[in-house]
Amino acid sequence: MNTELAFLCDSALDDRGKLHAMGIGIDGVQGNALPMTHPRFVVVCVMRYSVFEAGDKRMEIRLLGPDAQDVLPPVEQVIALPARDGVVDANARIIAEVNGVTFEQSGPHAFHVVIDGNEVARLPINVSVGPPEGGLPVSRAKILLATGNADKQRMLARLLEGLPVVGVTPAEAGVWADPDESADTHEAIARAKAEEWSRTAGMPAIASDGGLLVPSLGANWESRYTHRFAGPAADDDERQRRLLELLRPFAGDDRKAAFVEGLAIADGGRTLASWEVQGATGRIVDTLVDRGGATDGDGFWVFPLWHFAEFGRTYDRLTEAERASLGDHWDALRGLVQEFVSGWLSSESGFTGF
């Protein structure tokens, strides 16, 4: 049995014979103080074996510190090396997660991969304390933009502009999650999303959940169901038509509406900060003829209906400066995120998940 490839990374997936990995080549972690916890390492080994070596094998992954003692209990599992008809040599891709690693010492460490008592790979990793030269270490540079919606990803990325962090999409990280969205408030839903995504991705995550407030509709409207109130099969055109039907009996100020947005940042399945803000108040247009541009199915179906008399246009057609002058909910969140993340990165304990 020969080891053809072995490395540490942030995430990996074996998809129908193709190996996909994110953050390949981790060889060090850095923090401001000990102990420090890294949420997840993924160990990847590609082994070549012969037909004579096929069968179930006992694999053990051990992480040893500078004193040659175990940093955590060995990770053990049984791996299958199948015999294939007519094939003398075959490849096996081994992917193993090691979660919640707490380092008590600085200095050289190493993951040792052992199969049936024989070491097949040694993956060194150095643990250091103190600020690195030239800014943040690579292991603290990423935050997951926790949504599959490309337009929402751009909105979340905008909140982080100017900060020494890089927003990573789920596709780039090779991860997916389906968090529960049944909580009672937008902030609570955002917290659940961020926590689930951060657990899945093994990195900090930023997530949001928002909805339209329409006071005149009372019990006939719930902001948490803004996207799905018209049913799971409805498209944006149908949602717009249904909202206008609900508001048909109302005119003038009774068509006022505001947007509320919850936002959360989590790491390792734990919320670090969360907020809920209400933005500007506009008015829902009277008919579809009065709406703004098309939504392209981006999930922001309300914005072409949400009119602001100050500018004579719907929200989707306002400039960033015009939105900011109204007290836009995303601008309010950007200030909160910028303040929190800046303090987080400069704190003594720092973000261990980055």
pLDDT at 130: 66
Q: What is the DSSP string of 94-107?
A: EEEEEEEEEE-S-E
202-223 pLDDT, tens digit each: 889 999 999 999 999 999 999 9
Helix (H, G, I), strand (E, B) or coil at 234: coil
In this structure, are residues 65 and 41 in contact, taking their beta carbons and an 8 Å threshold? Answer: no
Strands 306-308 and 313-314: antiparallel
In this structure, are residues 36 and 138 in contact, taking their beta carbons and an 8 Å threshold? Answer: no
Helix axes 329-346, 150-159, angle to 10 degrees: 60
Strands (E) across 69-168 are located at: 75-81, 89-103, 107-115, 118-129, 142-145, 166-168
pLDDT at 132: 47
In this structure, are residues 304 and 291 in contact, taking their beta carbons and an 8 Å threshold? Answer: yes
54-100 pLDDT, tens digit each: 999 999 999 999 999 999 999 999 999 998 888 888 889 999 989 88
Q: Which residues contact 19 (CB under 8 A, 6 or more apart)?
A: 12, 13, 44, 46, 93
Backbone angles phi, psi at 129, to 5 degrees: -120, 135
Q: Does residue 70 have an active-site annotation?
A: no
Q: Determine the Cα–Cα distance for residues 279 and 256; give it in Å rounded to an integer.
A: 13
pLDDT at 141: 61
pLDDT at 33: 78
Specify which residues 80 forms β-bridges with: 56
In this structure, are residues 282 and 306 in contact, taking their beta carbons and an 8 Å threshold? Answer: yes
SS (H, E, C) 289-332: HHCCCCCCCCCCCCHHHEEECCCCEEHHHCCHHHHHHHCCHHHH
Helix (H, G, I), strand (E, B) or coil at 190: helix
Angle ∠(168,176,143) on CA atoms, nearest 5: 25
pLDDT at 135: 41
pLDDT at 354: 39
- Continuous segment of H or E residues that includes residue 69: none
- Within the chain, which residues score under 70 in pLDDT? 32, 130-141, 296-299, 345-354
pLDDT at 136: 40
**Cα dist. 251→238, 243, 302 in Å?**
21, 14, 18
pLDDT at 348: 35
Q: Determine the Cα–Cα distance for residues 323 and 53; give it in Å rounded to an integer.
A: 66
Q: Which of 209, 236, 316, 331 is catalytic?
A: 209
